[in-house]
C-alpha cells in the first residue's frame, strides 16, 4: 500500500482513468458490433450476387434457395463471354477509361492549381464556371451536348466518350483544395529563386500533389469504367460499345437471362476491383493535406 | 511577406548569388504589376479546361437554350415556336410526375447517404472498433460497382418471384412483397440501392476530414470531462462542416440526375411510375427525337439544380460567418 501511494504521478494519473475502463469496453463492443452489422449490410448483396453467379441456370430459381451453389459452375461466365462481344467491350472500356484518366489528371491539376494560387478576377470567375458544370452535367444537357459532339464529327467514336469527360469539377476542386493547403511561402520562395510560374507548378507543386493524383486516377477510372448514359448516347456501333452498355442490353431484354446477366456483371467488375486492390492504400489513406500541415 | 521568409539567414545569401542576374529586372517588372496580377501562367494552366468548358458546356448550353424555343428534331430546320415547349412542359403530367418522383427520391436518398457515410467514416476512424481493414474494403466495395451492376444486384435481391428477400419473407411465414409492381415499394428499393452505392465516395471524403481534425481539441475536451457525444457534436461536426457541405451538395446533384441505377433496377417502373427526370429527358430527346422539348425540360432541371446549389452556398456562408 505504502508503495503504491508513494509512486510518482504519472501512474496515479493512469489510475484515475481506470474506473472509466468498463465504459470504454462497452463502447468498443458497441461500436464494433455496429460496424460489423454495417459490413454485413454492405457486403451481403455483393456476396449473394457473386455466389449466385456460380450457380447453374437451373439452380438460380429452384426453391429452397441456398447461399452456396450446390453444383458450382462457370457456365454463366463462359456463356456471357461468348454470346456477346465481351472482349471488344472490355477493350473499348479500357481505352476510354485510361485515356480519360490521364487527361483528367493533367487538366484538373493545372486548373486546380491556378484556381488556388492566382487571384485575378477572371480566375475567380472561371472557378464559378467550373462549379457551374456540376449544375449542368452531361445527363442534363443530353440532347444539345449530343448535337455538339455530332457536329464536331465525333459521333460513334470513343473520343466522344473521352473528351467531354475531361473537364470535371470534382477533380479540379480536389486539386484546388489541396493546393490551398500548400503554403504560399513555398510559391513565393520559388518566385524569389527565379523559378517561372509554370516550372514551379510542374517541378514543385505537381510532385507534391501525388496523393491527389492517385486518388483522382482511381476516381476518374471508375467514373469512365462505370459510365452508362453518355456512351449509350454517342456510341451506335456495337463494336464500340462499352461494358455497361453491354450489360444493360442484357437487362433490357424482355426475358432477362439471369445466368448470362450474373456472369457478365461479375466479369465487368473484375478489372476495377483489381485496380482498387492494387491502389487501395493510396486511395483509402489519401490524406488530402499530405505532408504540408503547418 | 517576402522578407518574412528570409530569417533563416544562411539560405538567402546563397540564393541571391545563384540567381541569374538578368532574371532580376524581369521579376521586378512582374512584381510592379502586383502579386496577384499574373496573367500568362494562370491562363495557360486553365486553358484546356477553358476550351473544354466553352465547347462542351457553353456551346451546348446556349444551343440547348435556343433549341428549347424551337421544335427542332435533331435534323433539318429548327422552327421557332416561342414558349410553346415550356407551356407544354408545365401542362405535362408525365413531367410533373417525373419531377416529383425525382424530388422525393433525392429528399430520401441524400439524408440516408450522408448519415451512412458519416457513420461508416466515424467507425473507420475511431479507436473503438476492431477489424477496420476488412470493414474498409467492404464499405468501399459498392463504389467500385457501376450503377448498372448495382441495379442488377438489387434487382436480384428484391425480385418479386425469385428474389432472396421475398424468399426469406415467405419462409418466415409472410406474404410476397410486391417490390417491383408497387410504385412506392420499388422507389424504396431504389433509394436503398442508391444510398448503398453512393455511400463509399462520401465516406472517403468524411474519413479524410475526420483524420484532419486536430487531436489536441479532443484531448483538451477530455480533460474538461466532455463525453464522446459532446466531443462529436462540438468538435467533430464543426470541424468537418466544410466537408459536410460538399458532401450534401454533391449528393443532391448526383441523385437529381440518377438514371443508370434505376434503369437497371426497374427501368423506371412499374410502368412509368418511377421515371425520373433524366430518364424523361432521355426519352423525349432520343426516343422521340423532340430535341426542342427535351431541351426545355433540361433547362427546368438545370434551374432546379442551380437553386439548390445557391441555397446551399448561402446557408453555408451564413453558418461560416
Average pLDDT over residues A192-209: 88
User: pLDDT at position B50, please?
Assistant: 92
Assess if residue A178 is contained within a domain. yes
Write out pLDDT tens, residues A131-168.
878 767 777 788 888 989 999 999 989 999 999 989 88
CB B124 within 8 A of CB B140: no
Report helix, strand or coil for A152: coil
pLDDT for B230 beyond 90: no
Phi-psi region of A73 (alpha: psi -120 to 50; beta: other; left: phi over 0): beta
Domain that holds residue A49: 2-53
Phi-psi region of B216 (alpha: psi -120 to 50; beta: other; left: phi over 0): alpha
Q: What is the dihedral of CA A42, B206, B246, B267, to 10 degrees?
A: -10
| Residue numbers in B near A198 (CB within 8 A) | 41, 44-45
- What total of structural domains would you count in chain A? 2
DSSP A171-203: HHHHHHHHHHHS-HHHHHHHHHTT--HHHHIII
Backbone φ, ψ for residue A72 (5° rounding): -55, 140
Q: Could you tell me if A209 and A266 lie in one domain?
A: yes
Average pLDDT over residues A247-271: 85
Query: Residue B42 is nearest to which of A114, A141, A251, comparing CB atoms?
Result: A114
- CB spacing of B129 vs A32 below 8 angstroms: yes
Residue from A202, A144, A78 nearest B293 by CA? A144
User: pLDDT at position A85, please?
Assistant: 83
Q: Could you tell me if A265 and A142 lie in one domain?
A: yes
Q: Which residue in this structure is represented by grid cell 423532340?
A: B290
User: pLDDT at position B123, please?
Assistant: 92
Assess if residue A120 is contained within a domain. yes
Residues B126 and A86: their CA atoms lie apart, in Å, by 43
Write out pLDDT tens, residues A70-108.
778 888 888 888 877 888 998 999 999 999 999 999 999
Quickly list H helices, B177-290: 183-211, 215-223, 228-231, 237-239, 241-256, 260-265, 277-282
User: pLDDT at position A286, please?
Assistant: 55
User: pLDDT at position B25, please?
Assistant: 45
pLDDT band at A231 (very low <50, low <70, confident <90, very high): very high
Assess if residue A152 is contained within a domain. yes
CB A106 within 8 A of CB A202: no
Residues in chain A: 294
Q: Could you tell me if A25 and A139 lie in one domain?
A: no
| Residue numbers in A near B125 (CB within 8 A) | none
Assess if residue A72 is contained within a domain. no
Assess if residue A261 is contained within a domain. yes
Task: Give the closest-approach CA distance of A163 to chain B in angstroms.
Answer: 8
Average pLDDT over residues B151-178: 86
Residue A191 maps to which CATH number? 1.10.3720.10
Average pLDDT over residues A205-230: 88
Residues A68 and A66: their CA atoms lie apart, in Å, by 6
Report the Cα B217 to chain-centroid distance in Å: 30
**Could you tell me what percent of chain A has a pLDDT over 90?**
22
CB B156 within 8 A of CB A259: no
Average pLDDT over residues A184-193: 88
- Specify the DSSP class assigned to residue B78: -
- CB spacing of A38 vs B286 below 8 angstroms: no
Q: Higher confidence at residue A37 or residue B126?
A: A37
DSSP A4-62: HHHS-HHHHHHHHHGGGHHHHHHHHHHHHHHHHHHHHHHHHHHHHHHHHHTS-GGGTTP
pLDDT for B37 beyond 70: no
Q: Could you tell me if A39 and A150 lie in one domain?
A: no
- CB spacing of B143 vs A222 below 8 angstroms: yes
Q: Could you tell me if A29 and A159 lie in one domain?
A: no
How far CA B311 is from CA of A223, B245, B297, B306, B307, in Å, comes to 27, 12, 21, 8, 6
Q: Could you tell me if A40 and A102 lie in one domain?
A: no
User: pLDDT at position A24, please?
Assistant: 77
Which of 151-210 (A) contact B at CB < 8 A? 152, 163-164, 166-167, 170, 172, 185, 188-189, 191-194, 196-198, 201
Assess if residue A290 is contained within a domain. no
Backbone φ, ψ for residue A120 (5° rounding): -65, 160
Average pLDDT over residues A229-247: 90
Q: Which residue in this structure is represented by grid cell 494552366?
A: B45
pLDDT for B23 beyond 50: no
Report the Cα A61 to chain-centroid distance in Å: 34
Q: Could you tell me if A231 and A268 lie in one domain?
A: yes
pLDDT band at B54 (very low <50, low <70, confident <90, very high): very high
CB B153 within 8 A of CB A52: no
Write out pLDDT tens, residues A261-287.
888 899 899 988 888 888 777 776 654
Q: Higher confidence at residue A185 or residue A20?
A: A185
Q: What's the farthest any 2 CA atoms get from each other in chain B?
A: 88
* Bridge partners for B70 per DSSP: B80
- Residue where a domain terminates, one of A53, A69, A90: A53
Q: Higher confidence at residue B42 or residue A3?
A: B42
Write out pLDDT tens, residues B188-217.
999 999 999 999 888 888 888 888 888 888
pLDDT for B14 beyond 70: no
Assign a CATH topology to domain B84-320: MetI-like fold (1.10.3720)
**Cis before residue B61, ω within 30 degrees of 0?**
no
Residues A252 and A52: their CA atoms lie apart, in Å, by 20
Residues B130 and A32: their CA atoms lie apart, in Å, by 6
Mean pLDDT of chain A: 82
Q: Could you tell me if A27 and A98 lie in one domain?
A: no
End-to-end CA distance of chain A: 47
Radius of gyration of chain A (CA): 26
Write out pLDDT tens, residues B122-157.
999 888 888 888 898 899 889 889 999 999 999 988
pLDDT band at A13 (very low <50, low <70, confident <90, very high): very low
| Domain ranges for chain B | 3-67, 84-320
| Residue B120 cell numbers, joined | 461508416
Residues A290 and A283: their CA atoms lie apart, in Å, by 13
Residues B254 and B260: their CA atoms lie apart, in Å, by 12
Q: Best of B144, B265, B276 to disrupt the A interface by mutation (most A CBs within 10 Å)?
A: B144
CB B276 within 8 A of CB B262: yes
**Cis before residue B281, ω within 30 degrees of 0?**
no
pLDDT for B28 beyond 50: no
Amino acid at each position: 500500500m505504502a508503495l503504491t501511494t508513494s509512486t510518482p504521478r504519472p501512474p496515479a494519473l493512469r489510475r484515475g482513468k481506470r474506473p472509466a475502463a468498463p465504459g470504454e469496453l462497452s463502447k468498443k463492443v458497441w461500436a464494433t458490433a455496429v460496424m460489423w452489422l454495417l459490413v454485413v449490410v454492405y457486403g451481403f448483396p455483393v456476396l449473394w450476387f457473386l455466389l449466385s453467379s456460380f450457380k447453374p441456370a437451373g439452380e438460380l430459381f429452384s426453391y429452397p434457395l441456398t447461399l452456396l451453389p450446390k453444383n458450382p459452375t462457370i457456365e454463366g461466365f463462359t456463356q456471357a463471354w461468348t454470346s456477346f462481344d465481351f472482349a471488344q467491350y472490355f477493350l473499348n472500356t479500357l481505352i476510354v477509361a485510361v485515356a480519360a484518366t490521364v487527361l483528367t489528371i493533367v487538366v484538373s491539376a493545372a486548373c486546380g492549381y491556378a484556381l488556388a494560387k492566382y487571384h485575378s478576377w477572371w480566375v475567380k470567375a472561371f472557378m464559378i464556371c467550373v462549379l457551374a458544370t456540376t449544375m449542368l452535367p452531361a445527363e442534363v444537357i443530353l440532347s444539345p451536348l449530343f448535337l455538339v459532339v455530332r457536329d464536331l464529327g465525333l459521333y460513334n467514336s470513343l473520343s466522344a466518350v473521352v473528351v467531354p469527360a475531361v473537364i470535371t469539377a470534382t477533380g479540379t476542386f480536389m486539386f484546388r483544395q489541396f493546393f490551398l493547403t500548400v503554403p504560399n511561402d513555398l510559391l513565393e520562395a520559388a518566385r524569389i529563386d527565379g523559378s517561372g510560374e509554370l516550372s514551379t507548378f510542374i517541378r514543385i507543386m505537381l510532385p507534391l500533389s501525388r496523393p491527389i493524383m492517385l486518388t483522382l486516377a482511381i476516381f476518374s477510372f471508375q467514373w469512365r469504367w462505370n459510365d452508362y448514359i453518355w456512351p449509350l448516347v454517342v456510341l451506335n456501333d456495337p463494336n464500340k460499345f462499352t461494358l455497361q452498355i453491354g450489360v444493360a442490353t442484357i437487362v433490357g431484354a424482355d426475358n432477362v437471362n439471369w445466368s448470362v446477366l450474373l456472369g457478365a456483371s461479375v466479369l465487368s467488375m473484375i478489372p476495377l476491383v483489381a485496380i482498387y486492390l492494387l491502389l487501395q492504400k493510396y486511395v483509402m489513406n489519401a490524406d488530402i493535406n499530405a505532408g504540408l500541415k503547418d | 511577406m517576402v522578407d518574412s521568409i528570409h530569417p533563416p539567414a544562411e539560405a538567402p545569401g546563397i540564393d541571391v548569388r545563384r540567381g541569374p542576374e538578368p532574371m532580376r529586372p524581369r521579376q521586378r517588372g512582374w512584381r510592379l504589376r502586383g502579386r496577384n496580377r499574373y496573367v500568362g501562367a494562370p491562363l495557360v494552366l486553365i486553358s484546356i479546361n477553358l476550351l473544354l468548358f466553352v465547347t462542351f458546356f457553353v456551346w451546348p448550353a446556349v444551343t440547348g437554350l435556343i433549341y428549347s424555343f424551337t421544335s427542332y428534331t435533331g435534323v433539318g430546320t429548327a422552327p421557332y415556336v416561342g414558349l410553346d415547349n415550356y407551356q407544354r412542359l408545365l401542362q405535362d403530367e408525365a413531367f410533373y410526375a417525373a419531377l416529383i418522383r425525382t424530388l422525393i427520391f433525392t429528399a430520401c436518398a441524400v439524408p440516408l447517404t450522408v448519415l451512412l457515410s458519416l457513420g461508416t467514416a466515424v467507425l473507420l476512424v475511431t479507436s473503438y472498433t476492431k477489424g477496420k481493414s476488412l470493414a474498409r474494403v467492404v464499405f468501399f466495395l459498392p463504389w467500385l460497382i457501376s450503377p448498372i451492376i448495382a441495379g442488377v444486384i438489387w434487382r436480384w435481391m428484391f425480385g418479386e418471384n425469385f428474389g432472396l428477400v421475398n424468399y426469406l419473407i415467405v419462409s418466415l411465414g409472410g406474404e410476397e412483397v410486391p417490390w417491383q409492381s408497387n410504385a412506392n415499394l420499388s422507389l424504396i428499393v431504389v433509394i436503398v440501392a442508391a444510398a448503398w452505392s453512393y455511400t463509399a465516395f462520401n465516406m472517403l471524403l468524411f474519413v479524410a476530414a475526420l483524420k484532419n481534425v486536430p487531436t489536441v481539441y479532443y484531448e483538451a475536451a477530455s480533460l474538461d470531462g466532455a463525453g464522446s457525444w459532446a466531443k462529436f457534436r462540438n468538435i467533430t461536426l464543426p470541424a468537418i462542416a466544410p466537408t459536410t457541405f460538399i458532401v450534401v451538395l454533391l449528393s443532391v446533384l448526383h441523385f437529381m440526375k440518377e438514371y443508370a441505377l434505376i434503369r437497371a433496377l426497374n427501368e423506371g417502373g412499374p410502368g412509368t411510375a418511377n421515371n425520373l427526370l433524366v430518364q424523361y429527358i432521355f426519352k423525349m430527346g432520343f426516343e422521340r427525337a423532340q430535341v426542342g422539348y427535351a431541351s426545355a425540360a433540361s433547362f427546368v432541371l438545370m434551374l432546379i439544380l442551380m437553386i439548390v446549389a445557391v441555397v446551399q452556398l448561402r446557408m453555408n456562408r451564413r453558418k461560416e460567418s
